[in-house]
Amino acid sequence: MNYISGEILCIDKPLGWTSFDAVKRIRGAIQRRLGLKKFKVGHAGTLDPLATGVLIVCTGRATRRIDELQTGVKEYVADLRLGATTPSFDLETEIDAIFPTDHITRRSVEEVLPRFTGAIMQVPPVFSAVKVDGKRAYKFARKGHEVELKPKQLQIDEIELIEFSPESLRLRIVCGKGTYIRALARDIGQALGSGAHLTSLRRTRVGDCRIEDSMSVDQAIELISSGPVEFPEE
């Protein structure tokens, strides 16, 4: 492995970690192995702390490819709870409203989902890193301030219904850069004449990096600590 010339690592980010947490651990392991006080490591495509799965981590000169890599098609498996909403559209905040679900059937879900494929407009969550007046929207939202975000166009290639009950859905989603699955949960709930929020999210692919080929953070650190290391030729 030549971490200075640049390596691309497919990491399975654990639940509760920020993307930066994973990068920090991997950067520290490389610094210790190479005896460096500073070293450039970055990630392509942020995952929320409540999400797990594929996180592309780039080292050294490969960090120049981050913009390219994060445009790769992404695949997720998402669990939605129907009949309840939260301000953050996921489990970060408490339920703020309850809605009926008795009218929701598998057929009604299958009729609604195609509305959200192709080029669609989506309003990002206020609990997000979208900038408003130079500040992250979540900073306003966590203080209880109202934030108005503009809809953005994005691409969703596929939505597959994996499991259904009147209270929950499991979906497989293939989409492009900038898609907020939390916001998609909100919009699907509204389209079903109810409410919904995300209860779990696992990213299974980013471009050519797939979950079955990904390492845990501990496995990556073990590889860095004991695996072969090369240095670029001067």
Q: What are phi and psi of 78, to 5 degrees?
A: -125, 140
Cα first-last separation, the chain: 17
Between CA 144 and CA 76 the distance in angstroms is 30
Annotated catalytic residue, options 12, 21, 48, 67? 48
Rama region for 114: left / alpha / beta (φ>0; ψ in -120 to 50; rest): alpha
Note if 218 is an active site residue.
Answer: no
The Cα-based distances of 15 to 23, 105, 187 in angstroms read 15, 31, 24
The Cα-based distances of 110 to 20, 194, 198 in angstroms read 37, 15, 18
Between CA 54 and CA 51 the distance in angstroms is 10
Burial code of 41-56, b = ≥16 C-beta within 10 A, e = fewer?
Answer: bbbbbebbebbbbbbb
Between CA 11 and CA 2 the distance in angstroms is 17
Between CA 147 and CA 124 the distance in angstroms is 11
Looking at the annotation, which residues are catalytic?
48
